[in-house]
Structure 1
Amino acid sequence: MVEATPPKIELRGICKSFPLGHGQVRSVLDDVAFSAQPGEFVAVIGPSGCGKSTMFNIMAGLETASSGEILVDGDVVTGQHEHFAYMPQKDLLFPWRSILENTSLGLEVAGETKKIARARAASLFPAFGLSGFEDAHPFELSGGMRQRAALLRTVVQGRDVLLLDEPFGALDSLTRTDMQSWLQGVWSQNAWTAVLITHDIREAIYLADRVVVLSARPASVRLNLTIDLPRPRALSMTTSAEFAGYERTLLATLHEETRSSSAP
């Protein structure tokens, strides 16, 4: 009998509480559990303040869970950071460094020589639409190009899983749409396993194979919805009846959670 391939990443029973003093605690995550298969794109949405970023910090090894496990390829890696490449909402490019120097920085910090790190980063510039901007500085780039540079800096590390925390949240609507289409293309070419946090339901449906909806705090998984739309996905698909059906389902779930969080 052939054994099933384990998920690339799996969260099992992740809980997180913060002490408030005087013996009180605030529970933020409550038994969060979901997984992503190799090469799968999973989006996570939920009410504001439900604990999505805390969950990402635990996945990336930046915070400690109160209980639960993180697994990669079936092995427990809770608290470890070397399996995850984390891209926050802000590009965090250093203004005094060139784009090539910025994108190779993670490799250099990890111990790679400057020469090899910059050669590896430079090899990705054509795919990321950054050819010719190796020596430019962040202030010379548009918002979309800065986010491409930030994503290049993330993926060049060669980690198992990409964690994308609202990477396009600060962009204008048109640039954001362009970046979503670009990300879909570069993701499909590289077969990355990716987990995306977003507040944009349409972005989640357009990009993801599955959308995980978290409940109001303390967060647990309220819905795990498979997005059965063909790839590659054209922007025209966002006006289809199938797309609208997924949008209605997710909106209804989120509105229910928002109402429950504001109820007395």
Structure 2
Amino acid sequence: MIIIADGGSTKTNWCLLDDAGKKVYFNTEGYNPYFVNSEYIVNSLKKGLPKDLSYDQIVEVNYYGAGVHNDEKANIVIEALQQVFVNSQVFVGHDLLAAARALLGDQAGFAAILGTGTNTCIYNGEDVAYNIDSAAYILGDEGSGCYIGKKLLTDYIRGYMPENVREIFWETYKLTPDDVMDAVYTKPLANRFCASFSKFVYDVSVDISYSRGIVQNAFDDFFRNLVSHYPDYQNYSFNCIGSVGYNFRNVLEDTANQYGMKVGRIVRSPIDDLVQYHINRSAK
């Protein structure tokens, strides 16, 4: 039996593939090694994985995760997985590689992630060939759920949010500006906190022009500061994984077209296509 996992900063999607080819899907929280350590991951997995999972019968774990930018960060995740799946060969790769393999298979092209965070790359059909660093949620991550949430929260704190939207925001969350500041600057996982408010932007319908403006500006920043800096980027189709890209795909498609890119695939989650990639690779 093997496991394939796609881990974002907020949620990890898992698929157990047994020897007969049966697929069993389940979820846990996300494990970005910039924000959590091996001990945290192990404890969370022991609580979050299915109780009837036969850990000792799993021979291979292919984990793709956010924040796995170098060996130091990858080893945090590898150490945790090896403690849980003791008989498994463990591979840990970046979630950007998962996105590219899910979206493009063994074909070269452009791939992006627009979820809690942001990432982009040129893929050569096997690995990430060129990547412009997103600079993470404090310095960058344009277009992400966190970026959209930060803009909403900034407008709320500064009093820029339209009054009808502000009333619904208060009714929904009961957060004062001081509460927001406290959550962002003194509590852990501020990126998840900020990203959670992208759902409010998607759901609130009392001022569509305001909500769309936030998303449009975020995606324009994403294309201007990241996508358009790839050499010959207009020669590629735009392919994207992630809940933010999927939920706001109409705005995303419009923005891609404005920057001269044809739109390819926009998918909420890579897990199904990623599992198929590994099935196809095993068959070769």
Asked which structure has the greater RCO (Cα within 8 Å, sep 6+), the reply is 1
Structure 1 and Structure 2 fold alike (TM over 0.5): no
Higher helix proportion: 2
TM-score (norm 2): 0.27
TM-score (norm 1): 0.29
Higher strand proportion: 1
